[in-house]
Amino acid sequence: MHHSTLLSSIIYTDTERLIEAGEMKIIRRESRLQLFEHEVATPESAFPLSAVWDVSYKSLSTDANMLYLHTHRGVITYQVYEDPAQFVKAFKKLKNVHY
C-alpha cells in the first residue's frame, strides 16, 4: 500500500463472537481507519479515493457510532466510539478538491 500524508484517522472496533467449549466468547479488536490523499486504508485493506464515494455516520448512543464507507464494493460499516464528524469532514473536503 502506498501512503501519502495522513489527513485523518479514527479507531474502530471489530467484534467477533466465538463459541468455545459451549461458551460464547466475545473478542474485540481495535484498528485504525486512515484517510490519506489518495486512499482510505485499514490494516486489512485499502480503497483508492476514486473508489470511495462517500463517508457518513449514524449515532447509536452517546458513546457509539456507526461509520459508513460507501465504496464501489458496497457499504462497509465500522463501529467507532469517538465522534466521527472530523473524519467525515476531512473526507468530504478532500473529495470536493478532486471534483
Distance CA 7, CA 39 (A): 10
* pLDDT beyond 50 at 99: no
Q: Which residues, in sequence order, are CB contacts of 36 under 8 Å at separation 6+?
A: 3, 4, 5, 6, 7
Instruction: List, for residues 47-97, the tens digit of each pLDDT value.
Output: 999 999 999 999 988 788 999 999 999 999 999 999 999 999 999 999 886
Domains, the chain: 6-97 (2.30.29.30)
pTM, two decimal places: 0.83
pLDDT band at 2 (very low <50, low <70, confident <90, very high): low
Choose among 16, 11, 35, 41: nearest CA to 26: 16
Could you write out the DSSP letters of every residue in 69-95? EEETTEEEEEEESS-THHHHHHHHHHH
Instruction: List, for residues 15-43, the tens digit of each pLDDT value.
Output: 889 998 999 999 999 999 999 999 999 99
